[in-house]
Amino acid sequence: MAWFLPLIMMISPACLFWGAATMESVNFTKSVDRESFQLLSETIAGFNGVASKLESYYRNLEQRVKHLTLELDEKNRELVQNLREKEEFKNYLHNILESLTTGVVVLDLEGRITTFNRAAEMITGLGAADMSGCRFDRTPASGIFSRLTENRGSSNDITEDLEVETEIQRGHNDTLHVRISTFPVKDPAGRKIGTAITLQDITRLKRLEEKVNRRDRLAAMGEMAAEIAHEIRNPLGSIELFATTLKKDLSDSPELQRLVEHISRSVRKMNNSISNLLMFIRPHQRPCFRIKDIHGPLTNALLFSSDLLKSDNPVEVVTHYATEPLTARIDPDLLQQALLNLILNALQAMPRGGELRISTTRRIHPRSGSGVAEIQIRDSGSGVCEKNLARIFDPFFTTKKKGTGLGLAIVHNILSIHGGDIDVESFPEQGTLCTVTIPLWEEDNGTS
């Protein structure tokens, strides 16, 4: 249309000029009929009218094109804005999905993985790039999802919500307990378009459940054990008293005295085991705190272990105590029991003799910045392997044939009551180092 208007405008003047020339020719020659001339004039006038209308139509069309162009530009801007908003919303949802601690896996109708978030990677140990587009039953994770399709042909047969629990083995000692839930994904019309699977790491929950169950069992066992311990403990005092009297009566028979001393030593050992058992069963007895130097309970604990120090394979004891008092808010009897258990453990780790080093010092706690009394008990015994070292504070865990597995558990409980801590380092055949820390009594503010 744009080319037509200029053409009309060029033709119109030419026609007018031609018409004028014709009229002059008629006037000069007077050979043309007047009617023909009139007809020709009307034709030219009609042509000019059509050209004028075409020009008007062109102007209107041009305005219409401009208007449509503006509308098109506006629509394009709206479309770009919509696409930008959709992309931002998509990224927003993606960020939420990647931030979830629950693994999310989405399958299409063919069972191919379309979504595999970061939590799913962490739980399964598999990468999203390797899983995307693969059939879920043909991936390294197929064993994880196998229980979902039991008695079903494929993921497409999952039409209702399912929930199962399974274990995922990662490494030699890393087992995760995972709750797997699945539900169909449907469009607005209710047609299934895929399957969503969630993976929830419930390892911590399982461990807490195990602890609760174990505590319940221990509580029941504890009540029964306490009754038995009291029944056993009652005659022990009489046995030790009679043995002491008998030893005096056998002053002229060293061999018999040695046997009687063995009876007394065994009674004291049994009494110590029963005391440990009762202390573990009833750990919440109200402690009697006093402001005391920790060297008192330590010295008494070492004296109580003298029977083992005098065995056939003697142990050399080397002590290095702080020259200043290490005053703390302690229950002397409880702390003595804890230190005695540590010393007995050290001595029992050296059945063929060895060296026991005990030292005390004042230190600054690296985290709290406050002063602590540090007690180190080191033996040169057989040591503890790394696997067992992680369990030495568990109740009833022991590597000794005649051990109860309560000594270190009681130590841990007693130190917790005092706000203290214990750290154990050990190497097989090189010995064990136990480091006990107890907050010192601050005289300035009356706190520990």
**Domain boundaries in the chain?**
4-80, 100-201, 204-282, 289-439
Q: Name the packing angle between helices 332-348 and 407-417 (round to 10°).
A: 150
Tell me phi and psi for residue 358, to 5 degrees. -125, 125
* Token output for 292: 């005391």
Predicted pLDDT of residue 155? 55
Question: pLDDT, tens digit, for every residue of 217-272?
Answer: 867 777 777 778 778 877 887 888 888 888 888 878 888 888 888 888 788 778 77
Predicted pLDDT of residue 291? 94
Predicted pLDDT of residue 18? 47
Question: pLDDT, tens digit, for every residue of 99-145?
Answer: 888 999 998 888 888 999 998 888 888 888 888 888 877 777 666 66
Residue 154 has pLDDT above 60, yes or no: no
C-alpha closest to that of 322 among 298, 303, 290, 352? 298
pTM comes to 0.47
- Between 253 and 290, the more confident residue is 290
DSSP state of 138: G
Predicted pLDDT of residue 321? 94
Q: What is the DSSP string of 300-359?
A: HHHHHTHHHHTSSS-EEEEEE--SS--EEEE-HHHHHHHHHHHHHHHHHT-TT-EEEEEE
Residue 55 has pLDDT above 70, yes or no: yes
Write the CA distances from 260 to 253, 271, 412, integer angstroms: 11, 17, 35
Residues 420, 361: contact at Cβ < 8 Å?
no
Q: 259-268, 272-281, 321-330: which range is least confident on average?
A: 272-281
Q: How far apart are CA 414 and CA 422, in angstroms?
A: 11
Give domain 289-439's CATH number out of 3.90.550.10, 3.40.50.10860, 3.40.50.450, 3.30.565.10: 3.30.565.10
Q: How far apart are CA 185 and CA 195, in angstroms?
A: 5
Residues 317, 359: contact at Cβ < 8 Å?
no
Q: Does domain 204-282 have CATH number 1.10.287?
A: yes
Class of the domain covering 100-201: alpha beta
